[in-house]
Structure 1
């Protein structure tokens, strides 16, 4: 049996070690934010964070997540208390159909955790693996910039006298 740390909580996995992480998240653990899109790691709808890096969970066997930290959209906040990135996406109305948004948010979260001050060019480069056909690209950029500013402001406020 494998164990992964999912959104901060250790979870035992019963699935076969070669089962795609996406299937484990959705079918075994009941988390449905990561979506099945292409199944080939080409659309980004399944993006989650593994030890700080954005990955395609549809092509990642769960055995590669054993004894590692997996973060999904569900780990960023709740409906009642959205995290800064979730709130920014809501405030900017960055979703149209919403299918790609969880993957976009997870890739953005991985980026902002590494580089808290980002340019639009860096965001575009980092989000390139994630496809969106709705056309909310400019709102997505604004949401990520808003989240970066919100996190920077709250961090500054936390250390201010």
Structure 2
């Protein structure tokens, strides 16, 4: 039997793990925890923006622009893309189909929509305005910026 993985210390003193194809380094616990907290806050923010923004859009209608309605627009576009994505063949996942184009457009717009929502929140700021809206938009924006920094967003399937 041959070994398939190796644990070693690199020349600069970092602990490493490799399977021969890909190597990983040990990261500090604080950085690891910060990434998980960022993910959880961002997902909570995106969920709040989608659910509350869509609810307010349905309940109040699109009469007046609201921060969460702007932020939820690309998220609703992703929801609209789901039927197209589920109806297409698995062999078309990397092709520019309607579902993939909607997904690409939505992921391009998401950070800008969250930023526009934050700016509109400050422009319309009143004492009665919910601070939860601002926190949700900011949490979603920070996650989207991290994903953009890592090259995950915007998601374009045909590249």
Compare the two structures and name the one with the higher strand fraction: 1
Higher RCO structure (Cα 8 Å, ≥6 apart) = 2
TM-score, normalised with respect to structure 2: 0.30
Normalising by structure 1, what TM-score? 0.29
